[in-house]
Structure 1
Amino acid sequence: MPLGDESERWKWENAVAGAGAGFATVAALHPLDVVRTRFQVTDGRASHLPLYNNTAHALYSIARTEGVRGLYAGFFPAVFGSTVSWGLYFFFYSRAKSMYLRGNDEHLTPLYHLVSAAEAGAMVSLFTNPIWLVKTRLQLQTPYHGYRTYSGFSDALRTILKEEGWQALYKGIGPSLLLVTHGAIQFTVYEELRRLVTRTKGKGAKTNALGGDESLSSFDYAALGASSKIVAILFTYPYQVIRSRLQQRPNINGTPKYSDSWHVIKETARFEGLRGFYRGLTSNLLKNIPASSITFVVYENVLRILRLSGGEN
């Protein structure tokens, strides 16, 4: 197979592996995502959302008052968005690494991993922001909100376009682009930790810049994914809070609660202090630590299977 064709096939293998990882992650942990979103927008002032004491209380309350449907609110856009996002992310990330690898005989430096992840994150944000906005709106719907509910993903899209215009689909795009740093930090930490673990294991296997290492187990990938996720969350979580607050549905009179990111920052700092920027952090960690482990285990193993099947051709 020509080198160029093999490189293209490898990029698509990464996209397929990433999409599979994204689907598995969301399917397993969506209720915690609903809880996280509701905590993020609860600022202690007037709200249609009930108040929850902690993550366990939130899960219990939603299940009791809204049933399983409440725990899985926004599930379709979450699955769709995550599958598309991870697929695109790994595709753009691997493409960027391939480009920067040219001329480098051994492996990429942390800076190149950071730039590759940032480029991939920016592209994904532009493609998927409307999906995440709809997901947020659906997750925040409760029996107490006072206006007509969205019946589903397509109805939400139609209603938003009709009532607010296409620009509304890109609310929160500023924080989303800043959240590119989240993926950049996570993937850089992941790559460097993976290289360190491979070296520590001392099995003589080399980690090339375009893929996994046969010496690492699923447990290794799970630990690496979780560790890199914790570092990324601690640095970038406030951006997620700002985005969620911007993406809330406007009041019944059509007035948004927050006009822009700076308005969110000022109001949050004024009424809640630093703590306000970390609302929902516990449920976020409970969701994303295992989620990241699942993602990288599925990704690396699917990629390994695809490579083995490709090598037989």
Structure 2
Amino acid sequence: MSQPPWQWETATAGAVAGFATVAAMYPLDIVRTRFQANDGRVTKFTYKNTAHAIFTITRLEGLRGLYAGFSPAVLGSTVSWSLYFFFYGRAKQRYSKNREEKLSPTHHLAAAAEAGGLVSLCTNPIWLIKTRLQLQTPLHQSRPYSGVYDAFRTILREEGWTALYKGLGPGLLMVSHGAIQFTAYEELRKLVVDYKKRKGNPDSDSNLLNSFDYALLGGSSKIAAILLTYPFQVCILAIIQRPSSEGIPKYMNSWHVVKETARFEGLRGFYKGITPNLLKNVPASSITFIVYENVLKLLRRLRKND
């Protein structure tokens, strides 16, 4: 294994990758979030499918509707990926007693879980505000937040600071999503590198892979993570929705969400919105790893030339 890069390099590459990803795929995130907000009793957003949702949002709310909550999304994604790759790199360094020793899948799983937990604690308020801004429309919100700061101030005034950490419990369970994704990515990466070496490619490990390889690895690992952890996302969104005008939350806790979803919607309710989720996150993951790996290579070259 090549010498680990400076941690600022992984953080910088992660931040650039996070910004590029959210900027490219944001409208599909809006659609996915609104599909998840429907339940078996109340249908807030009557969209037939992903294409119809995009058309309807554009017609009723304008292009601005497809980018509701974009500012906290950019901030959240940039900060999250920066911190994630930073914590992940530090954890891998710690688990690797010998820098030439290849880490096992268990080590990758533990490093990714550790990074995910720390990122969740740091960024939960950002994602909560982003989601609430995505869900408010002229048709469904009598007192909409006017922006990020107004949402932050209103939440503190009406619900208290603890409301900023609603959904943190299932959010920490979602650590398994990143753990599965990064473990799958690392193990698939090893397979591709070994295959190319057997073909007689003399390049170093860091130069063996190209952007197509990163896209394939990122997309494949994301599919595995989504299919296994998607119900957690549905539970998180249900919990963090804004209370009614009377201040009454729709769900009391995560278990309440699980019971009500199973009762009114069945198993299918835990996978609502998965189509736009896959359409957004599989190519988004490919973009993330293409940008991350290439920016990291660039930073390494710049450091070596200094």
TM-score, normalised to structure 1, is: 0.94
Residue aligning to 1:119: 114
Counterpart position of 2:70: 75
Residue 41 (str. 1) matches residue 41 (str. 2):
no
Offset from partner CA, 1:115-151 (integer Å, 9 cap, x none): 0000000000000000000011000001122421101
Q: CA deviation at 1:105?
A: 3.5
1:51: how far off?
A: 1.0
1:84 is the counterpart of 2:75? no
Check the 8 A contact 2:91/2:111 in 1, yes or no: yes
2:46 aligns with 51
Mapping of 1:197-208 within 5 angstroms?
A: 197-202=192-197, 203-205=201-203, 207=205
The residue number in structure 2 matching 1:168 is: 163
In 2, the alpha carbon distance for the partners of 1:287 and 1:50 equals 19
* Cα pair 1:198 1:205 within 8 Å, conserved: no
Cross-structure match for 2:175: 180
Distance in 1 (CA, whole Å) between partners of 2:254 and 2:45 is 24
Asked whether the 8 Å contact 2:117–2:172 carries over to 1, the reply is yes
1:83-110 Cα offsets, whole Å, 9 max, x none, are 0000000000000001111236321011
Give the aligned partner of residue 302 of structure 1: 295
The CA deviation at 1:31 is 0.5
Q: Which whole-Å CA distance do the structure 1 matches of 2:269 and 2:42 have between them? A: 15
Aligned to 1:274: 267
Give the aligned partner of residue 144 of structure 2: 149
Match of 1:288 in 2: 281
- Distance in 2 (alpha carbons) for counterparts of 1:225 and 1:177: 22
- What is the match of residue 109 of structure 1? 104
Report the Cα distance in structure 2 between the residues aligned to 1:205 and 1:96, rounded to whole angstroms.
Answer: 27
1:260 equivalent in alignment to 2:260: no
Which consecutive unaligned segments of at least 5 residues does structure 2 have? none
CA contact (8 A) 2:117 2:175 kept: yes
Q: Are 2:35 and 2:45, in contact at CA under 8 Å, matched by a contact in 1?
A: no
1:242–1:79 CA distance, 2 compared to 1 (3 A): same
In structure 2, the partner of 1:251 is 244
TM-score (norm 2): 0.96
Identity of aligned residues (%): 65
Q: What RMSD in Å do the two structures reach over aligned CA positions?
A: 1.2
CA contact (8 A) 1:52 1:58 kept: yes
Q: What's the offset of the Cα at 1:32?
A: 0.4
Instruction: Extract structure 1 runs of 4+ deviating beyond 3 A.
Output: 204-207
Q: Are 1:250 and 1:256, in contact at CA under 8 Å, matched by a contact in 2?
A: yes
2-structure distance, mates of 1:94, 1:34 = 31
Letter in 2 for 1:305: L
Match of residue 16, structure 1, among 12, 37, 51: 12
**How far apart in 1 are the matches of 2:278 and 2:117?**
23
Distance 2:97 2:181 in 1: 23
Q: Which of 206, 209, 215 pairs up with 1:216?
A: 209
Aligned to 1:238: 231
Residues 30-75 of structure 1, C-alpha deviation per residue, up to 9 Å, x if partnerless?
A: 010000001111013235x221111111111101001111100110
The corresponding residue for 2:22 is 26
Contact 2:40–2:261 at 8 Å: present in 1 too? Answer: no
Cα gap change, 1:104 to 1:16, in 2 (>3 Å): closer
Count the aligned residue pairs.
301
Distance in 2, matches of 1:99 and 1:106, equals 12
d(CA) in 1 for partners of 2:115, 2:41: 37
Given that 2:30 and 2:68 are in contact with CA atoms closer than 8 Å, whether structure 1 keeps it comes out as yes
Structure 1 CA distance for aligned equivalents of residues 124 and 8 of structure 2: 23
Aligned partner of residue 214 in structure 1, secondary structure = helix
The one-letter amino acid of 2:27's match is P
- Tell me if structure 2 keeps the 8 A contact 1:229–1:292: yes
